[in-house]
A and B are shown apart, each in its own frame.
Chain A
Amino acid sequence: MKVIQVENHTLTYIALVLNARAGSALDPPGREGLAYVTAHMLQRGTRRHTREQVADELDLVGTGINVSVGAEGVQFFVDCASANLPGLLDVLSEVLAAPIFDPAELDKLKRQTLAEIHELRDSDAGLAAYFFSALLHEGHRYGPPARGYETSLASITRDDVVEFYRKHYTQAAFVVGIAGDIGPTIRDQVLDATVRRLPAGRTRPATPPVPAGPHGLDLLLVTKPERTQAQVAVGQKAIPGSDPRFMPATVAVTGFGGTFTSVLVREIREKRGWSYGVGAGLAPGRYTGTFRIRYAPKNENVAEALSLTLDLLSALRTDGLANEHLEFARNYLVNQHPFSVDTPVHRLDFLLTLQLTGRPLSQLDRFAETVRTVTDADANSAISSFLEPERSRIVVVGDASLQDSLVKLPGIARFRTVPFDHDGPLPPR
């Protein structure tokens, strides 16, 4: 167990962030959704309180427990006015350490999760993110969605949930963050009420790396009726946050597509007006990172926007970015950094991200210095060392009529279509 604290008394406010390495990458095959269901079952009944009573107690302290489940971890975020912390800890202690996994509540949660899966299909941007992850991580533990599939969700039993909880909710799995109006005794109060009530456990082994995937462009068209605009995601597997190339690559990606005046935004939005929103980002995973570009052009601009994107990526790998763009990116990152640490919660978020992606916490205070020491050659070399535009994974959520133009894109090795309500792993290549 690791604890990170950020003390700040500006407001009478406290935030707690409990992270457990109990994410969906641990779901057994056929039980996809188990990590999600387990995390959400914790507040649906304890040895002393029903689900409704837990909710009522949370309302009394004015808050709710926000649960998010990713591939590597689960996060419980909860905040309150300082005066309400004792009440909150009373609830949290039961939720984390004394859940009863009531069978009726489990059946209801599964039905509600199934309904959420359907509801998410009404967001085109959400679908693009969902299918991009599935395509990029095809065949890997990161591929299945956190909520699972309709069929796998139905097969999850109470025994599965109890076993998952017993195995993965241990002290060793947790990183605890506490921020805000906290005094010297708060740390122990929080830990005594939460993670220290769990068994010690052991550190979990690393997740196997994501394979590079086959050569050639792999394009998935997710068809949805009556679309006049498409959601596009282009990207590939990248380096983990702990890789020494991560910071230099971040400088390059920022100059390429990370700000309003970056190369990609200028080309797609400013010069051509093809998309309102456009951007590129590098996400630092613990064991693997992700490079992703996203935008939303009108149907008639999708193919040409993709062609231009692939050309820009090829030029980025071959020629790198000019000093003008890299100097710009360094300045931007250094000068923006204070906003990553301006509030107790932002500072805690930054530290937790460092911790969860295997980087030293000292990177927070050394951030500006580290960015300034990245040379142009470092940045261009880092990005070209892993960027493979010809192996890009591309997801287009849009009208079925886009197929004719997309299939003709140069370099397409695999082209698949699925309907927007496709459930389960992607069909074979």
Chain B
Amino acid sequence: MQRRYARTRRPLVEHRFGASRIRLHRLDNGLQLIVWEDRSAPVAAFYTWFGVGSGHEVPGRSGMAHLFEHLMFKETRNLKAGEFDRTLEINGVSTNAATWLDWTYYQEHLPSDRLELVARLEADRMENMILNQEQLDTERDVVRNERLLRVDNSPEGRISEEIFHLHFGRHPYGHPTIGWMEDISAITLDDCIGFHRVYYAPGNATITVVGDVDHDSTVELIRHFYGAIPASDPAPVRRAAPPPRRRAQRIRVLKLPLATPKVSILYSAPSIVEPAAARVSLIGEILFNAENARVRRLLVEDEELAVNVSGWYGALRLSGILELQLDLVPGASWKRAMELMDREIDAFLDSGPTERELTQARNRVELMFLQSNQSVGSRARNLGHFHTTSGDFRDFFRSREQILACTSDELMSAARAVLQRGRRTVVAAVPASDEE
């Protein structure tokens, strides 16, 4: 153990959280590794993040990042199709993956004594993946089915796809992560091979390991399995385009086979790298999410126009979003609901929050922080999301500090910048039989 420790280089960054130390390392080939030791249970999470999501795709090839995520579970030069999952599952390791606008990640939740196995298999598929036409065709069918499930036969999916497209237009966030159906069909094997070469290099990847692991041994293990993977040219940097500035709000009404009307509203918000980003969560709590939040109380309890109201801040790289959802009661007028909501928002912008509201919102965000620090998986996701999106995992902890320290003036400054009616996008989905 002493010898191992001596060979381990000092971390690039070390962050303390309570009694824990979270450390970042970078290998010579550019691969980054974040380790958070926690010996409270014999489990660990191993997440591999690539800095590529649907926001990196080119026109005509939407869905590429997500389809590729499916293909990563197929075959390598050392493992036949199906062996990757089978080997991990038999060892009690659960696997999954996700693709979004700025990233793709691959997750393993493992008994901590299986760390070496996971590192070996993950390094193998990063370096030795095999792609062929048959795999592409089968997985394309699965993805088409996934699209039918998540979008075409889901009102929420249809609304989400529509509002992102309407709000962002040709911006990198304007097309769906799962891809347009015709684009999914058009993706070729050459596209996949090129995509892998450009984006699945160690210099574009970060591994987050959280749980019952020894820091020094983990660093050594990662060096052992990943250190020889050659570095390659850096992935192309995305144009940091701001979302289109609108002069008036955009509204679209969808007639769908629905039982109840639903409204989605998208505001542009600060990106994850801007100081005001964290404050948007507080706005969401005060107006929409708290038990007694202003808009929730008005629409759900006082006027009984909605079953549910929520507001969610999306911490993205190129532009943040504040997305609101109003699930209305049958027969309710979405225009009336919007009118009342706007009146309430205007009143808030005039008066600002009370001290009690601000305390309540801080307490709610603090509880969410505690909840999200319980399992090793959610901690590995938080570290990876921030590190891949903002460039520094410590922003996860900083955002909490910013929220706890946020003053009423700072909150109102963020609220006035975000809650601009003229710049928002609205999609209302109403039952096909609706006259409105």
Contact = CB atoms under 8 A, between A and B. Distances in A.
25 contacts: A8-B40, A11-B373, A12-B370, A52-B301, A59-B290, A59-B291, A60-B360, A62-B362, A62-B364, A62-B366, A118-B329, A119-B308, A119-B327, A121-B260, A122-B260, A228-B148, A260-B89, A261-B85, A274-B145, A275-B145, A298-B145, A335-B92, A342-B43, A343-B375, A344-B374
Contacts of A12: 370
A87 to B, nearest CB: 9
B286 to A, nearest CB: 10
Closest 7 CB pairs of A and B: A335-B92, A62-B363, A273-B141, A55-B291, A276-B146, A115-B329, A342-B41
A63 B308 CA distance: 17
A428 interface: no
Interface of A: 8, 10-13, 51-52, 55-56, 58-64, 79-81, 84, 108, 111-112, 115-116, 118-119, 121-124, 224-229, 259-261, 266, 269-270, 273-277, 296-298, 328, 331-332, 334-339, 341-346, 421
A83 to B, nearest CB: 10
B260 A118 contact: yes
A108 B300 CA distance: 10
A79 B367 contact: yes
B367 A328 contact: no
A229 B152 contact: yes
Contacts of B373: 11
Interface string B107-136: 001010010000000000000000000000
Interface string B146-169: 101100111100000000000000
A298 B329 contact: no
Contacts of B307: 112, 115-116, 119
Contacts of B367: 13, 62-63, 79-81
A343 B292 contact: no
Contacts of A261: 82, 85-86, 89
A343 B330 contact: no
A60 B329 contact: no
Pick from B262, B304, B360, B362 the residue with the most CB of A within 10 Å. B360
B216 to A, nearest CB: 22
Contacts of A331: 90-92
Contacts of A338: 41-43, 92, 111
Interface of B: 38, 40-43, 82, 85-86, 89-95, 109, 111, 114, 138-139, 141-143, 145-146, 148-149, 152-155, 257-260, 262, 290-292, 297, 300-301, 304, 307-308, 327, 329-330, 356, 359-360, 362-367, 370-371, 373-376
A335 B91 contact: yes
Pick from B89, B111, B327 the residue with the most CB of A within 10 Å. B89
A17 B91 CA distance: 32
Given A228-B148, A331-B91, A124 B153 contact: yes
A352 B290 CA distance: 28
B291 A332 contact: no
A270 B82 contact: yes
Contact of B90 (A8, A58, A63, A328): A328
Contacts of A118: 259-260, 329-330
A52 B111 contact: no
Contacts of B329: 111-112, 115, 118
A296 B149 contact: yes
B304 A108 contact: yes
Contacts of A346: 375
Pick from A63, A297, A339 the residue with the most CB of B within 10 Å. A339
Pick from A59, A229, A336 the residue with the most CB of B within 10 Å. A59
